[in-house]
Amino acid sequence: MEETQKPALKLKRLQEMPVQEKKVLVRVDFNVPLHGGEVSDDSRLRAALPTLKYLMEAKAKIVLISHLGRPKGKPEEKYSLKPVAKALEKILGIPVSFSSDCVGPEAKKAVLALKEGEIVLMENLRFHAGEEKNDPEFAKSLANLGEVFVEDAFGAIHRAHASTVGIPKILPSCVGFLVQKELEFLDRVIGNPARPFVAIIGGAKVSDKLRVLNKLLDRVDTLLIGGGMAYTFLAAQGVSIGKSLLDQEKIADAQAVIDKSYAKKVTCLLPADHVAVSEIKPGVKTSVTQGMAIPEGLIGADIGPHTIEIFLEEIEKAKTIFWNGPMGVFEIPEFSAGSKAIAEAMAKAGKNGAVTIVGGGDSLAVLSESGLSEQMSHCSTGGGASLELLEGKVLPGLSAISS
């Protein structure tokens, strides 16, 4: 049966929108990690720079709105964006003012104070319940802060919130350079990728990845499955997995993915060996299994050396590589070898001309720790959004802007 085609989106780009000397409201994704009151990873701030610099050159009055964490509709100091304003100021080398609210008198005052080319970052959108509820009045209050709206928060466009779908109903809207870049690279995966095309899918939850696995099987030449989700696939094949993570309810779905890979003539590879432990904790004694099976009483915590070898052979041959989800419990050094090996192999493939795309916070964390982020063709700032695009979903934040 032919797949139903989703309607094509007609998105106005920032460079097509008149913004000269206007008040421009920009939805950014500054949902960054904070430690000790400071931003510990500024990659999402840097990802917004092309859009911000373009608007600064256009002498726009730039009003930035973002969420941070999950404060449940009321102010919480630990989720304040104030430290983010300081970090952005340091990166840009110009003052970035901060408003203690994103709507109301304080917000209006902060916007009125802006001169051409200046920037203000508003306080956390999610300090108001109206954001996640997509409350029309809250959206209207936000829209009153600008004359033009720029959607540049790729990590939030799969959410139907006031700042992503409410504002575009009120203001002339377009997509910024970050969203444009994300869509361009993901289109290479969805549309016409250079072949061989290899997808590497890991992470803990099978349920999070089933839809994207099924979509990828229509497009890829090789599918490599690792991480905690791999044990459900092994169990579906009748392989003993010891005490490893298992989603009993998804065994039949995992088997259906394997069956589809055979039908599509897609090479689908599961871990051939494992780093196994009695419990998941730092410093624990590890052993490597002799094959796919994990002995009773042990837990799979990472792919083993033979699996790394097999996976790397496939990556080396690839012309397009998409990676989402780590191969093991990478946060613990003893279980990070598989994920690091994938990151290094992708960096090497990139040097040899392959298009390398990484999506998902955990995968990006592996790259960041390995110092390899800059060596990828594209690191997606929105794991959830990128997966939903690959699943074929129309993202609310894009359809709201589409003309």
Whether 14-179 shares its CATH topology with 193-389 is answered: yes
The answer to whether residue 46 is catalytic is: no
Return the domain boundaries, the chain: 14-179, 193-389
Q: Give pLDDT, residue 2.
A: 34
Buried-exposed string 280-289: b where 16+ CB fall within 10 A, e elsewhere: beeeeebeeb
- CA 56, CA 91: separation in Å to the nearest integer? 14
Q: Give pLDDT, residue 8.
A: 62
- Stated as kind and residue range, the H or E segment containing 57 is helix 49-57
Q: Give pLDDT, residue 192.
A: 81
User: Architecture of 14-179 per CATH?
Assistant: 3-Layer(aba) Sandwich (3.40)
Block residue for tokens 């997808």: 199
pTM score, two decimals?
Answer: 0.85
Q: Give pLDDT, residue 385.
A: 83
Angle at 190 between CA 151 and CA 212, to 5 degrees: 90
Helix (H, G, I), strand (E, B) or coil at 122: strand
Q: Give pLDDT, residue 346.
A: 95
The answer to whether residue 155 is catalytic is: no
Both tokens assigned to 398: 């894009």
The answer to whether residue 384 is catalytic is: yes
Q: Give pLDDT, residue 123.
A: 97
Block residue for tokens 């920037």: 119
For 86, other C-beta atoms within 10 Å of its C-beta total 15
- Stated as kind and residue range, the H or E segment containing 114 is none
- CA 134, CA 116: separation in Å to the nearest integer? 30
The answer to whether residue 361 is catalytic is: yes
- Stated as kind and residue range, the H or E segment containing 82 is helix 82-92
CA distances from 324 to 216, 223, 344 (A): 12, 12, 15
Q: Which CATH class, in words, describes the domain spanning 193-389?
A: alpha beta
Which residues of the chain fall below pLDDT 50? Answer: 1-7
Both tokens assigned to 260: 């589809």
Of 82, 133, 181, 205, which residue is the catalytic one? 205
Of 44, 61, 159, 215, which residue is the catalytic one? 44
